[in-house]
Amino acid sequence: MEIRVRTDDCTICGVCAQECPFGSISMGEVGPEFDESCTLCGVCVESCPAEAIYMVGEAEKILEERDSSKSRGVWVFAEQRAGHLQGVVLELLNEGKNIATQLGEPLACVLLGDEIEHLSQELIEYGVDQVYLAEAPELKDYRDDLYAQVLEHLVGKYQPTIFLIGGTTNGRSLAPRVATGLRTGLTADCTGFALDEAGNLLQTRPAFGGNLMATIRCPHHRPQMATVRPKVFEAPTRQPGRSGEEIRVELPPLKPWAHILEIVDEESLGPNLGEANVVVAGGRGLGSAEKFRLVEDLARAVGGAVGASRAVVDAGWVSYPHQVGQTGRTVAPKLYIACGISGAIQHLVGMQSAETIVAINRDPDAPIFSVATYGIVGEVEEIIPALIREIKSR
C-alpha cells in the first residue's frame, strides 16, 4: 500500500495533519507530506474534505508499471489431457490466426504438461507460429493452482496482447484465476471477435439469457482475455510439415495451494457430450430420475451421448457435465433428440446449431418445436420405448 495526494484537489486546509493519530503529517507547499511514522492507517483519507488523499494497492501499482505498448502476440491456451489436445484449442486457432493477421502479430500457444512435446509440432501444423512449452511432472495433470501460477508468470514475461482460453470445465476455472492475478479483464463465453480502429479486441457474447448480444472491450488492460465455448468456431485444416518456433520456458517456483489425494473419474454415460455426433437429451417431461433412464437407453441404442436440461440437473436426475445450454455445454452434433424439453432460450443457445433436431413433447405449442427439424407430439414414456424397439429391430 502507498499513500498519495492529488495536489490539484488539495486546499492545504490542514485537517489531515490535525486528525493524524501519529502526528506523521506536516503541510508542505502543495499538500501534506508524510514522515516515516505513517502507518497507512487511512484516517487522513477519511478526514480529507477535498477527497485529495488516497491509497494505492499492489494491484494498481502493477497496472501502473505495466507498459501495455510492449504487449505483442495473440495467445491460445493449448489445453491437453493425457497428451491429447482438447478440440476447442484447434477451434480457437482459426479465430486466433484471423485476429493475429489483422494485428500483424504472431499467433502463439502456451502448452503445459509433462512429456507433451509432440503436441508442439501438431499445434504448429495447425497454424501456430510459436509454442511456449512448459514441461514438469507437477504439470502432468491439470490443476488450478500450478497452471495459474505458470500462466501468470509467462504472460508477465512475454506480454501477449490477447489471451484466449477454451471454455472447458478446466478453462472456465483457470481463466478467472489468471485474469485476477494479472489484474486484467476477462470476457467469458465469447461467440465472436473483431477489432476496433485502435486494435482493441471486440468480444461478443450472449447476454440477458441469450436475448441480446453484448460486445465488450478491454481498452486499458493487457492482455485482453476471453474464454470461448467449444463448437463455436471451426478448426483449421492441418498443414503437415509446416514449421514454427518452439520456446521451452523456465518455470517459476511452483507453490501448491492444495494436495490432491486422489482423482476419481466420473462414471461415464457413453460418449463425451461435446464431441458426440448424436446427443439424446432429456428434460423435466421425463417426470422422474427413474424415467430419465429411458433417455440413457435411447442414447445407448443410437450410440449417442446423454444431454439434459438444467431443470433435471438441478433435480439431481443426472450430473452437471450433461447439462446443455447457456450455463452448461454447447453442442453441435449431427443429430439432437430432445425428449420432454420445453425449449427455453437458455437451453436453445446450447443446441440450436445441431444439424438435425428431433423434439418429442406432449405440448404441440412447446417452443422446442420452433427449432426442430422433426417434431413428435406425444408422451415420452410411449415414444422413447417405441423408438428403441424400432432401432433395435433394424
Number of residues that bind ligand FAD (CB under 6 A): 29
The reply to whether 168 sits near ligand FAD by the rule CB under 6 A is no
Please, which residue, 147 or 336, has the CB nearer to ligand FAD?
Answer: 336
Among 120, 159, 342, 352, binds ligand FAD (CB under 6 A): 342
| Helix, strand, coil percentages for the chain (3-state, nearest 5) | 30, 25, 45
Give the binding range for ligand FAD (CB under 6 A) out of 73-81, 255-263, 265-273, 345-353: 345-353
Q: Are 162 and 194 contacting, i.e. CB atoms less than 8 angstroms apart?
A: no
State the minimum distance, in angstroms, from the CB of residue 285 to ligand FAD: 3
Please, which residue, 20 or 376, has the CB nearer to ligand FAD?
Answer: 376
Alpha carbon distance 326, 319 (integer Å): 16
The reply to whether 4 sits near ligand FAD by the rule CB under 6 A is no
Phi, psi of 98 (to 5 degrees): -55, -45
Among 119, 139, 269, 311, binds ligand FAD (CB under 6 A): 311
State the minimum distance, in angstroms, from the CB of residue 36 to ligand FAD: 53
Give the binding range for ligand FAD (CB under 6 A) out of 12-20, 175-183, 277-285, 297-305: 277-285
Among 204, 246, 362, 388, binds ligand FAD (CB under 6 A): 362
Please, which residue, 219 or 378, has the CB nearer to ligand FAD?
Answer: 378
In 28-105, which ranges are E strands?
32-34, 53-56, 74-77, 80-81, 84-85
What's the half-sphere exposure (Cβ side, CA atoms, 13 Å) at 84?
A: 3
Among 341, 358, 359, 384, binds ligand FAD (CB under 6 A): 341
The reply to whether omega before 223 is within 30° of 0 (cis) is yes
Amino acid, single-letter form, for residue 303: G
Q: Which residues from 187-216 bind ligand FAD, rule CB under 6 A?
A: 209
Q: Are strands 74-77 and 25-27 parallel, antiparallel or unpaired?
A: unpaired
Q: Distances in Å between the alpha carbon of 338 and those of 58, 358, 360?
A: 51, 6, 6
Among 31, 328, 333, 375, binds ligand FAD (CB under 6 A): 328
Cell (9 digits) for 100: 493475429
Alpha carbon distance 146, 297 (integer Å): 40
| DSSP secondary structure letters along 273-342 | TTT-SEEEEE-GGG-SHHHHHHHHHHHHHHT-EEEE-HHHHHTTSS-GGGBBSTTSB----SEEEEES--
State the minimum distance, in angstroms, from the CB of residue 313 to ligand FAD: 8
Cell (9 digits) for 13: 486546509
The reply to whether 229 sits near ligand FAD by the rule CB under 6 A is no
Among 232, 347, 357, 372, binds ligand FAD (CB under 6 A): 347
The reply to whether 380 sits near ligand FAD by the rule CB under 6 A is yes
The reply to whether 346 sits near ligand FAD by the rule CB under 6 A is yes
SS3 state of residue 107 = strand
The reply to whether 230 sits near ligand FAD by the rule CB under 6 A is no
The reply to whether 375 sits near ligand FAD by the rule CB under 6 A is no
Please, which residue, 186 or 384, has the CB nearer to ligand FAD?
Answer: 384
State the minimum distance, in angstroms, from the CB of residue 391 to ligand FAD: 19
The reply to whether 153 sits near ligand FAD by the rule CB under 6 A is no
Q: Distances in Å between the alpha carbon of 363 and those of 189, 225, 278, 378?
A: 32, 43, 24, 8
| DSSP secondary structure letters along 345-376 | HHHHTTTTT-SEEEEEES-TT-GGGGT-SEEE
What residues line the site for ligand FAD (CB under 6 A)? 209, 283-285, 309-312, 323-328, 340-342, 344, 346-347, 350, 360-363, 366, 379-381
